[in-house]
Structure 1
């Protein structure tokens, strides 16, 4: 079998390379306190798009630093009792997508919520100096500032805050909430369930935002991770602050959050993934102590994984 990264048996033992800041737990404790102090001011606006078996809404709430965050919300009709919900997170620089792919779960009796990450390709605000979008460059956003201003800190908090909002909805059973996403969405899925441990099931697929130093050492700081190389070229061309930079990135490294997850995990990985190298994904997966399982695709990269969507639906139907 072709090998892009480590052999599978070695991947299953790999514990990651990126440094973990000494005050990591305190950092996220303070961040969650900030999130809980925010008045979310939740607003539901009926969408122009509607279907016979579900109601479709644009959901807005206020996240940390005053950003107004948008999500698409699909609620099945004619279900009087509290029912399960699934929260979806999109890929890097994208958005929540069209309504059609939310309807599958809605037809099965789930409420479905899909968040636009702040400042990316959707309708959520980025309040870092301007209102509007910065589209990408979000890994390095805040690296020359205090760790409290790292943008992915705020995005991870948005995800956890949204999960809490969903759990407080009268139509949702708070004990039956799942989260899912691909790439950046997979990374946010893990972060969300780590910061909101009431999440019962999570299905991350080739998660992004993990083990940045490993990405660098594999010479894979390109494509989705290109901004790491760009940052060094412009701001530390001789790598005199390399350890400091990777340590600061450790605050937003999902592998260091993974041990906090309580829900059951189904993770999909392609062993030929050159966008999010398999070892970086295993660095997070191997730290999860909750019930977990892998769906491994030896010949596939960062692409569609045949049959995985069906397995994810079956997994979530257990809610």
Structure 2
């Protein structure tokens, strides 16, 4: 579709109307402290994929509530020394997929951890992690599950899983915890922003066309799913608007961005009606780190930069994480 959002010069100045809850920091500190009462129990089992250029491990760790969360750890074949670490989060509806599918970052010399997203993995990539927690009435999809209370909201569990995924990946002897980045596209980009705000010692983050940002605008500017799930929910729960947006305030990428300090490479597309560019710029403009940049793709929809953005990341990330171990030898 054609451009529908603010002109680019206005996007660069746009600020979200989303209000950070007064107890935002306490909410997340308590949530993560509760999760850490459970032993991380990170386990890595080598698997055969038929590939000769990478070694792959089937990972399991304890996420929110101690629930077992799956992932893949992929490293260059024969790696023996700790490598810079890239932790990746997956887009909406997708899971970790099959073991042989993740080659980019290990091929560039990094250790690459892919987190499965609880309850997802039946949309476009398969998943292996159930979500055992229930919720009240919700619309189809994930965006309104438990939305009547921040404590029960679905993304409280997912964001906690994501922080624990970083901790699990860092526990492996082939990863260098001091050189860790988080990356993701769409929902994965939104999770990346949350991790960037909750894990203070990340070196870099790369949220591509991120979802879960600027909920007050996102829920009203686009008819596209997943944001439209909020409108569908409120069409039935007609007196719940105030509580819904109060809950979403605890999970808005704008507020996590305001706490991020790592180097950051964002991307947005000006014809993106799934994650409208104003919602992405809302997070980018709020981002607190000094080393930040946003790639803008003028004539693209939610595919964003695709392989062009990957190429940009491949040039950008090594400069932040340092050369991979195999290049240092």
Same fold by TM-score greater than 0.5: yes
1:14 is aligned to: 14
Contact 1:221/1:227 (8 A) holds in 2: no
2:308 is aligned to: 307
State the secondary structure of the residue aligned to 1:92: coil
1:45 to 1:136, Cα distance in 2 relative to 1, 3 A: farther
The whole-number CA distance in structure 2 between the counterparts of 1:213 and 1:243 is 11
Counterpart among 230, 233, 247 of residue 231 in structure 1: 233
The whole-number CA distance in structure 2 between the counterparts of 1:221 and 1:254 is 20
Counterpart among 119, 141, 144 of residue 145 in structure 2: 141
The whole-number CA distance in structure 2 between the counterparts of 1:168 and 1:271 is 39
The whole-number CA distance in structure 1 between the counterparts of 2:152 and 2:28 is 13
Contact 2:91/2:186 (8 A) holds in 1: yes
1:90 is aligned to: 90
State the secondary structure of the residue aligned to 2:97: coil
1:36 is aligned to: 36
The whole-number CA distance in structure 1 between the counterparts of 2:252 and 2:166 is 20
Runs of 4+ in 1 over 6 A off after TM superposition: none
Contact 1:186/1:203 (8 A) holds in 2: yes
How many Å apart are 1:102 and its aligned residue?
2.4
1:135 to 1:166, Cα distance in 2 relative to 1, 3 A: farther
Runs of 5+ in structure 2 lacking a partner?
Answer: 122-126, 322-329
How many Å apart are 1:244 and its aligned residue?
2.6
- Residue 194 in structure 1 maps to residue 197 in structure 2: yes
Counterpart among 107, 128, 135 of residue 123 in structure 1: 128
Contact 1:67/1:118 (8 A) holds in 2: no
- Residue 168 in structure 1 maps to residue 167 in structure 2: no
- Residue 53 in structure 1 maps to residue 57 in structure 2: no
The whole-number CA distance in structure 1 between the counterparts of 2:198 and 2:140 is 23
How many Å apart are 1:100 and its aligned residue?
4.5
2:268 is aligned to: 269
1:136 to 1:209, Cα distance in 2 relative to 1, 3 A: farther
1:316 is aligned to: 317
The whole-number CA distance in structure 2 between the counterparts of 1:153 and 1:248 is 10
State the secondary structure of the residue aligned to 1:44: strand
Once the two structures are superposed, the pairs formed by residues 232-251 of structure 1 within 5 Å of their partners are 232-236=234-238, 240-251=239-250
Runs of 5+ in structure 1 lacking a partner?
Answer: none
1:222 is aligned to: 224
1:278 is aligned to: 277
Provide the aligned length of Structure 1 versus Structure 2.
310
Deviations 1:270-296 (A, max 9, x none): 011100111111111111121100111
Report which stretch shifted further, 262-271 or 306-315.
306-315
Deviations 1:113-166 (A, max 9, x none): 111111101111201149xxx99632211123x311111011011111111122
Contact 1:56/1:74 (8 A) holds in 2: yes
State the secondary structure of the residue aligned to 2:234: helix
How many Å apart are 1:168 and its aligned residue?
2.5
1:73 is aligned to: 73
Contact 1:93/1:136 (8 A) holds in 2: no
1:24 to 1:289, Cα distance in 2 relative to 1, 3 A: same
1:313 to 1:100, Cα distance in 2 relative to 1, 3 A: farther
